[in-house]
Chain A
Amino acid sequence: DAGVIQSPRHEVTEMGQEVTLRCKPISGHNSLFWYRQTMMRGLELLIYFNNNVPIDDSGMPEDRFSAKMPNASFSTLKIQPSEPRDSAVYFCASSPAGPASDTQYFGPGTRLTVL
């Protein structure tokens, strides 16, 4: 299996621009998670989906952030407008249904730099 796929791997943008991060979960997994990691705040859960439905978005920092999962094989995290404090590594993770639902598999991450 290819694992969780994220794109782009690196993104450099200017303040005020729209940024879209993409994720393809492992085939057959029914939960998808978006995390943000910074030195100051560590790894934070932003939002997670179960069967394409957003379950908990309490970690989304503000209205500038939005996430969608239009189907089982694709999700996006959008930041509009972006700000320098959004600079971080954004990870997508997926997990299967059933007894192993606690087991998350992380993608390689997208390193976002907002100038």
Chain B
Amino acid sequence: QKEVEQNSGPLSVPEGAIASLNCTYSDRGSQSFFWYRQYSGKSPELIMFIYSNGDKEDGRFTAQLNKASQYVSLLIRDSQPSDSATYLCAVNLYGQNFVFGPGTRLSVLP
């Protein structure tokens, strides 16, 4: 079983809609959780991080964490074509040992 799993997509949403990206992880000891955005041919860029159960909002982005279900999600409200990218979920297992999921490709249609 992979340590961090994501639906590879592509996930297509119309402009202005809410995009919902999901991630599950296998190690219950995981402490911190991250969402990175990666445009094609570019490097990953940190969007959000979350440590505690519940929701964390930053502008149009909301990260949700449920440690009991080992589930973390990213909601993007009012999706824009510029949000079209691959979104990587990452988990810090211990120390600074980060494990990334395979990524979900998001396409926002004008």
By a beta-carbon cutoff of 8 Å, the part of chain A in contact with chain B is 31, 33, 42-45, 48, 50, 55-56, 91, 95, 101-109
By a beta-carbon cutoff of 8 Å, the part of chain B in contact with chain A is 32, 34, 42-46, 49, 88, 92, 95-103
| CB atoms of B102 and A42 under 8 A apart | yes
| CB atoms of B96 and A33 under 8 A apart | yes
The 5 A-B pairs with the shortest beta carbon distances in the complex, nearest first, are A106-B43, A43-B100, A42-B102, A106-B44, A102-B32
Known: A42-B103, A43-B88, A102-B34. A107 touches B98 (CB 8 A): no
Shortest distance from the beta carbon of A109 to any chain B beta carbon, whole Å:
5
Majority SS at the chain A contact face: strand
Shortest distance from the beta carbon of A2 to any chain B beta carbon, whole Å:
14
Shortest distance from the beta carbon of B18 to any chain A beta carbon, whole Å:
26
Count of A-B residue pairs with CB < 8 Å: 45
Measured in the bound complex, the distance between the Cα atoms of B34 and A43 in whole Å is 14
B103 surroundings in chain A (CB, below 8 A):
42-43
Choice from B42, B46, B99 contacting A104 with Cβ under 8 Å = B46
Shortest distance from the beta carbon of B4 to any chain A beta carbon, whole Å:
9
| CB atoms of B97 and A107 under 8 A apart | no
A50 surroundings in chain B (CB, below 8 A):
96
| CB atoms of B96 and A48 under 8 A apart | yes
Shortest distance from the beta carbon of A26 to any chain B beta carbon, whole Å:
13
Measured in the bound complex, the distance between the Cα atoms of B11 and A25 in whole Å is 34
A55 surroundings in chain B (CB, below 8 A):
95-96
B92 surroundings in chain A (CB, below 8 A):
102
- Residue of A31, A33, A48, A104 ringed by the most chain B CB atoms within 10 A: A104
Shortest distance from the beta carbon of B53 to any chain A beta carbon, whole Å:
17
Measured in the bound complex, the distance between the Cα atoms of B97 and A44 in whole Å is 10
5 A–B contacts, CB within 8 A, in A order: A45-B99, A48-B97, A103-B46, A106-B45, A108-B43
Measured in the bound complex, the distance between the Cα atoms of B92 and A106 in whole Å is 16
Measured in the bound complex, the distance between the Cα atoms of B92 and A91 in whole Å is 18
